[in-house]
């Protein structure tokens, strides 16, 4: 099985390797090829405890002396204070323009370390070593980096990595809730990709994650190649995220769970305004149920309390929300939706 996906971006092209074990050695080989001198591994305390020593040892075995910057696990590190701590770690390590950052962790570590690398000395290289399903299938690929500022990812940069290594062995220590949440982004990608990726999930084929992760990485890579700077098609990857981001903040949900709820919502919304066939909608929702994803809100949510949060979405700061809507398997559109339809879809996903 070919387990490498190329992200084609001209001179910024890179490979995403999906492997079963041996991740630290794959990262170390990349480090040796890319960095003549300084290497800083940015990670969080949980990943450092479980997988940090193996990563550092592999890089040492490749003849480099890595420094390590450890941040607090969780979204709170994706902040101005969090990125300042990483910058100060790069300063303490004396990381120069030829240096390399390795982002070893989940989506928070990848977004944070990627943004720090994008802005350190006006840009040094980064290799992503994602340890969660969510970051393997989505955030580690495509070069979006950033931190939160009240709203999610309001500050950031486009900064493509020089390589990505996703080792499925890292998922074995993942909290089961985190793994399930990651399936939210898998579900999203399968809907957008359609075809075999969707049918694989429909057949219940999620026990072997390797082909599932590869499906997602391939779809993401293709979209990023066509629209690196998020000026068109890449907006589709926000399927479920407009409501998802709001729910994540409001209800304190995991990102992937919030996205799953957001997808259930836009599926109802698309049916409600006549853009999606009810039979296809049922197939989509059935796959979500098969992935054990939450498809109903933990409590009733009204448009009144959502509105200020939706307005903080970075695509709608000064205007109306334009929803990403599925129009079939492998097809989508983006459009504003009248408030009564939004209210109706919120009722559809209200707690039973």
User: Using CB under 8 A as the criterion, which residues of the chain lie in contact with a second copy when the complex forms?
Assistant: 37-38, 80, 84, 87-88, 91, 94-99, 115, 118-123, 144, 146, 149-151, 153-158, 230, 311, 314-319
Q: How far is the CB of 266 from a second copy (least distance, A)?
A: 21
Cα(121)–Cα(149) distance, integer angstroms: 22
Nearer Cβ to a second copy, position 112 or 253? 112
- Min dist CB 149 to a second copy, Å, is 6
Least distance in angstroms from the C-beta of 234 to a second copy: 11
Q: Which residue has the tokens 């303490």?
A: 92
In the complex, the smallest distance separating the C-beta of residue 54 from a second copy, rounded to whole angstroms, is: 25
- Copy the structure tokens of residue 193: 């990709």
**CA-closest candidate to residue 258, choices 306, 314, 297, 311:** 297
Q: Which is nearer to a second copy, 3 or 79 (CB)?
A: 79
Q: What is the dihedral of CA 256, 196, 139, 60, to 10 degrees?
A: 120
Residue 191 near residue 327 (C-beta atoms within 8 A): no
Cβ proximity to a second copy, 107 vs 288, nearer residue: 107
Query: Which CB, 79 or 331, lies closer to a second copy?
Result: 79
Our CB check for a second copy shows the closer of 186 and 309 to be 309
Whichever of 66 and 99 has its CB closer to a second copy, that residue is 99
* Number of Cα atoms under 13 Å in the Cβ half of residue 292: 9
Residue 82 or 240 having the CB closest to a second copy: 82
CB of 128 to a second copy, least distance (A): 17
Q: Minimum distance from CB of 26 to a second copy (Å)?
A: 25
**Which residues, other chains included, contact 106 with Cβ-Cβ below 8 Å and sequence gap of 6+?**
44, 47, 130, 131, 132, 134, 135, 178
**Conformation bin of residue 59: beta by default, left when phi > 0, alpha when psi is -120 to 50:** alpha
Cα 161 off chain centre by: 14
CA-wise closest residue to 103 among 119, 94, 95, 114: 114
For a second copy, the closer CB: 2 or 11: 11
- Pick the closer one to a second copy by CB: 15 or 230: 230
Long-range contacts of 115-119 (CB under 8 A, 24+ apart): 115/83, 115/145, 115/146, 115/147, 115/155, 115/156, 115/157, 115/159, 116/42, 116/83, 116/86, 116/87, 116/90, 117/145, 117/159, 118/145, 118/156, 118/157, 118/158, 118/159, 119/83, 119/87, 119/157
The CB-of-37 to a second copy minimum distance in angstroms stands at 6
Confirm if 226 and 10 have CB atoms less than 8 A apart.
no
Q: Closest separation between CB of residue 256 and a second copy, Å?
A: 22
Closest approach of Cβ 314 to a second copy, in Å? Answer: 5
């Amino acid at each position: 099985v070919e387990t490498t996906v190329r992200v084609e971006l001209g001179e910024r092209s890179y490979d995403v390797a999906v492997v079963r074990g041996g991740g630290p050695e794959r990262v170390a080989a990349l480090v040796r090829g890319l960095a003549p001198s300084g290497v800083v591994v940015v990670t969080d305390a949980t990943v450092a405890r479980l997988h940090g020593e193996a990563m550092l040892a592999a890089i040492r075995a490749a003849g480099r002396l890595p420094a390590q910057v450890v941040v607090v696990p969780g979204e709170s590190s994706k902040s101005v204070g969090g990125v300042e701590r990483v910058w100060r770690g790069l300063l303490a390590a004396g990381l120069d323009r030829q240096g390399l950052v390795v982002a070893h962790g989940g989506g928070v570590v990848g977004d944070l370390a990627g943004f720090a690398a994008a802005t350190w000395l006006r840009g040094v290289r980064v290799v992503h070593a994602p340890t969660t399903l969510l970051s393997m299938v989505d955030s580690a690929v495509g070069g979006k980096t950033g931190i939160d500022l009240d709203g999610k990812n309001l500050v950031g940069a486009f900064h493509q990595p020089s390589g990505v290594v996703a080792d499925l062995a890292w998922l074995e220590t993942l909290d089961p809730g985190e793994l399930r949440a990651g399936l939210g982004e898998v579900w999203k990608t399968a809907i957008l990709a359609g075809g075999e990726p969707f049918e694989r999930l429909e057949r219940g084929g999620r026990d072997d994650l390797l082909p599932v992760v590869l499906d997602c990485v391939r779809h993401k890579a293709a979209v990023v190649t066509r629209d690196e700077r998020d000026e068109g098609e890449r907006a589709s990857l926000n399927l479920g995220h407009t409501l998802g981001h709001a729910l994540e903040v409001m209800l304190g949900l995991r990102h992937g769970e919030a996205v799953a709820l957001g997808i259930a919502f836009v599926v109802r919304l698309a049916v409600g305004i006549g853009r999606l066939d009810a039979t296809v909608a049922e197939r989509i929702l059935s796959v979500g149920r098969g992935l054990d994803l939450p498809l109903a809100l933990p409590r009733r949510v009204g448009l009144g309390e959502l509105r200020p949060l939706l307005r903080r979405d970075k695509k709608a700061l000064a205007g109306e929300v334009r929803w990403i809507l599925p129009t079939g398997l492998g097809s989508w559109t983006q459009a504003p939706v009248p408030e009564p339809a939004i209210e109706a879809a919120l009722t559809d996903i209200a707690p039973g």
